[in-house]
Amino acid sequence: MRSGEHAADALAVAYTTMDRAAHNVRLLVERLKQLGYEFESEPYEPPSAESRTAWRKVESKIGPIPLSLRTSWDVVGAVDFTGKHPLLSVRSGSENTALGTLLTDPLVIYGPEVTLSEEDEVISDDGNLPEYVLAPDRYHTTSTTLAGEARIQWPCPLEPPRVCS
């Protein structure tokens, strides 16, 4: 899986992609603040020594993490754009008459600590595939309901990874 003639190239592409993603997250945080967007919590937590230790623990308990997720946790970190803005967020409760209420789904990507904290649910003996907890579902991020999280199962037999909610 992580060996072979293309492994180094695949890892380089994944790190380059996540470097760009981290840059874009920082840029979005800055621009949303300029627009007066009110974040509910810290919108961006770059990777730390603790989060890097956490994804390594996840990998040792569950198995190899997909490269895109591993490099996201290693380079981007955690993102939570949940918040309020009169035009950009349904949470603000006001409707803009020209555009209507925009039903946005703020970007949220949990750090590896969340997968570790839900380890009992993630790793089971009933034959289910291991799951990585990625983010709250779209209903949770818009305060519609507390339905659950988006999870990814890996590996998926004869299929690419799929998001499960």
Backbone angles phi, psi at 57, to 5 degrees: -65, -40
| Model-wide pTM > 0.85 | no
Exposure b/e, 109-129, CB count within 10 A at least 16 = b? bbbbbbbbebeeebeeeeeeb
Write down the domain spans for the chain.
7-164
pLDDT digits (tens), the chain, 165 positions: 566 788 899 999 999 999 999 999 999 999 999 999 999 999 999 999 999 999 888 888 877 788 888 899 999 999 999 888 877 775 545 555 555 555 667 888 888 888 777 655 555 555 566 667 777 765 544 444 444 566 555 554 444 545 544
Residues 108, 136: contact at Cβ < 8 Å? Answer: yes
